[in-house]
Amino acid sequence: MTRIAGTAGLAVLTMLIIQLAFSRTNARPVQHAPAAASQKPNPYEGQQQARQAGAKLYQRECAACHGADAHGLGKALPLASPEVRQASPGTLFWVLRNGSIYRGMPSFSHLPDEQRWQIVTYLKSL
């Protein structure tokens, strides 16, 4: 009897923990970036060459999920969207570095900073 109660208690606890974890991660990835990260300036802001490099990287790394035109595909959110337009370059840079494991956005921390800023420059031009 105590054993059954113990197992049931454990199951309830596990469910509570899972719920807590998910409610914390329910926000869109751009809402996860800490304030300090979001204030980081883009060293290539508005630069045409960086935008072009970023567009190429986007097609290689992102288009499979977010669509060639950045309007989204399947589960991946559109990037030509008000949320992305309003997000600061530092926020987007943070999302690219950290991804969002709960929502299926991979981390691009393997790319050099320079390439991630180029992608941000491209996203900001959409």
Which residues of the chain form contacts with ligand HEC (CB under 6 A)? 28-30, 61-62, 64-66, 75-77, 79, 83-84, 92, 95-96, 100, 103-106, 108, 119, 123
User: Residue 51 or 66: which CB sits closer to ligand HEC?
Assistant: 66
The least CB distance from residue 13 to ligand HEC, in Å, is: 27
- Which residue lies nearer to ligand HEC by CB, 50 or 79? 79
Nearest approach, Cβ of residue 4 and ligand HEC (Å): 39
**Closest to ligand HEC by CB, 9 or 22:** 22
- Quick check: 89 and 40 in contact, CB under 8 A? yes
